[in-house]
Each structure stands twice: as structure tokens, then as C-alpha cells.
Structure 1
Amino acid sequence: MDLGLRGRVVLVVGGAGYIGREIARTFVEEGAVVVIGGRTPEKLEVAEAEVGAAGTVVVDTRDAASARSAVDQVLAAHGRLDVLVNTAAPSAGTLDPARDHDAEQVLDAIDGKAMGYLRMTEAAVPVMRAAGFGRIIQISGQNAWLSGSVTAAARNAVVNTSAKAIADELAGSGVTVNVVNPGNVTDAPSAEVALGRGGESSPSQIAALVAFLASDAAAAVSGESIAVGHRVRGIQFG
């Protein structure tokens, strides 16, 4: 299937990371013009060379001015922005389990992920709305549906809920907003799914879904939160 991505200008924020790099690579393979965004210039340069991206932008998603600057730099270099993928967030492994109910940690985690995504989205939406076309894809996580961690659940739930609200606001504009929710991510995901657990997925499987959601074929899909890896397997009682 031709996804219609050739020549599209794509900004992958967090594109030097484990998942983001594969997303960037997939868009390059589809013929898109890919710009990788992130905080660390050295990591961006390595990722740019590895995936064949068209450039990089240094961006701190905790800073609204930095988010706007990143979008402005893409526009200056390429004339438009068609697709925004947000995947820049601290790893769940950086969250302190001993502070899981600590309001300060919860708020910081929400700011580092959900609000960072929102700042990038707010910077991109006016450009996309004016063009009558845009695709915004947020990478969240299946923790949004689990109660095992207050911090992880809260930051992912805010991503999912805010994306739906923005998608509703943009309905009919040509701009879609969707969320991809991976479970555990590994290079060699198991096909087995334990009871009460989510299934595993690989970066390339996540990237394939992201590319589809950015495509012309997905124009009618907006406001959705889609699991990658079997969504938490229910337990059947006799």
C-alpha cells in the first residue's frame, strides 16, 4: 500500500530514542522528509546519520518557546509541517516507585510527558490548520489503563484524554490527532500474553502503526487511542 508519505515533512520529537529512532527510520523509508527533535545535539547527530534524516532541531518540550522555535525551524528549512510525532518523555524506569503517590512526582511526570506533548501540539496546530492537512501522533502507553502505578497511569491518561479533546476541536479541519499505546517494548516481542497483562511489541511494530496513522488512508481516523501489543488480557471467571 502506498501510504502517500513521499515528500511529507515529518517532525519526530524524541527521534533519537529507542522508539523514536525507528519511527524516524520508517518515515525515511517511506520517502518522507524527516527532522529529528530532542534535547541533546550529540544524540541527534548520531540518529540523523543512522536513519538518514533531513535535519535536526534542539528542543526542550518543557519550554513552550522552545517548542514554537522547533516548529519555526522546520518551517524555515522545509516550508511546511505535515506530521508531528511526539515521543519525547522520561522513561518509566526513571520514576521512583517509593514516590508513586507523591503529588510532586506525579505533576512532574505529567509535565515531562503530557504537557510536553501538548506544547508541541499547540505549536504545530496553527500551521496544520492553515494548510488544511496535518497528522499528530502521540506515543503514550498501556499504563493509562492500569492501576499499578499512580504516576505512570496519570501521565499517560492525560496524554490520551487531551489528544481526544484536541481531535474533537479539529474535526473537519483535515488535521487528525491519535495516540499509540505500547505495552512493554522489546526487539524480540513474545507472542504470548499473560492473563491480566499487556502484550509486547517492537519499535518497528509501533512505527508501522504510526506511519499508517500519518497516511492519506487514515484520514478518517482521529481521536483514537490504539494499543500496540495486545491490550491488557482479561481474566475469564468460570
Structure 2
Amino acid sequence: MHEESSEFGSIESANFSLWSPVCRQDGSDVSCRFDVTSPEFLGINQADSQLLQGFVQAMDVCTGTVEKWSVQRFVTPYYTYSTDTENWQDAFRLAWRVTLSISGASRYRQCGKVGPYPADGLDSTWTDELSILPLEQEEVVIIANEGPVRDISFLEERSAGRHLEEIEYDFPDSPVRQVRYHLGAMHLPTSIDAVRQILDQCRPRFMVSHSSVAAGRSAWQVPAGWTEIR
């Protein structure tokens, strides 16, 4: 966890997409969690305040100063474009889960969409030695957004209630439910079949690809109006 303060700064180049923000207001403080992917050959290591201030601006959720944050690297089939590929490097997409705290917010509103929010920036802690491609051993997360059935009992039984995260995205028009199943560190080349089995169980109930979510009505909504904080 890093603790720094900075005002909004300029961002240098377009490199990131932001997904599935969950933001909560408590007085003049705002907490926010979201996923980050990179369409370019850059990524996030520890992140820095300038990059994260730019992310907050891109989501347009509040004003304020990023005070502290954490970054978790993981891979998931959710952000790929083909969940049925036999190539393990194509079956998993590298992503980062960012959690941050914002202080001194003077206005706040609910986010209006699952994503993507295009964002510009560079992480000053990123180096060329860090891989933008999935390594053989990575933390794996299955992400699925609700479909016609809201039944996750099969995942609850499989996970025994552990490492299973449910998120309700409180969008202005209607909530969107997401399930995140944390499988832990896995050897990706030998894990494709096990992951595909879970995806096959999810498909009748949930949407397991970001591309299917983006096509859905609930993924794109008008954001809520601004709430002034005094």
C-alpha cells in the first residue's frame, strides 16, 4: 500500500481501459475499486499518484486527491475475445485490480457504465523488464456478469464459500451483479481445461466475456447527477 498526495496532473499518452468501477462516498472521502487492462504494451506495477488521478478523471466520478492505493495483478478469460482458444496465452488476459482512496471530494456521482473508460497515462514504476503478457504462473480470477438467471449456487458449492466475491454495481437505471471467483495462483499452460469447465458452468447463467457485457443494455447507462459535498 502506498500513501501519497497530489493534485490532478497532466497525463501523457493513451494506454489503458478501466472497467467495472465500484465507488462509495463517505462524507468528503470516496473509495473506489476497478479493473485496468492495457491495449498497448504497457502495464501497471505499483502505480503512482499522477496515473491514478488521471484514472479518477477518466471515470468522472468525483473530484479530490488520491491518498492511498493498492494494485493486484491477475489474469482472467473475461477480458479476452475468445474464451474457447486452445492457446493458453490467448485464453487469459492480464489485468490489474486497483483499490484507491480519495480525500477532499467536493462532488460525487455514481458511475454510468461497466466500461471501458479509456484512460491516458504512464506508470512511472513500470519497467521494460516487467511482462505485459501472462506468465506461466499467475493469479487467476473468473469474472462473470449476471445473465437471465441469478443463481450462483454451483460456484458457492465449488468454492465452499471461499474466494467468491459478489459485487452489485449500483448503476442509476438498474443494478448489475458480478461474480468474481478467485482461483489463486495457477500454472496456466496446464489449467486451461479446468478453467474452461468453470466457464461452461457459468455460461447458462452469466456472461463470461466483457464483449457480451458491453453489448447488453445494462452496460451503458447515463451516469447519475452530481452531488455537491459540503
TM-score (norm 2): 0.29
TM-score (norm 1): 0.28
Structure with the larger helix share: 1
Structure with the larger strand share: 2
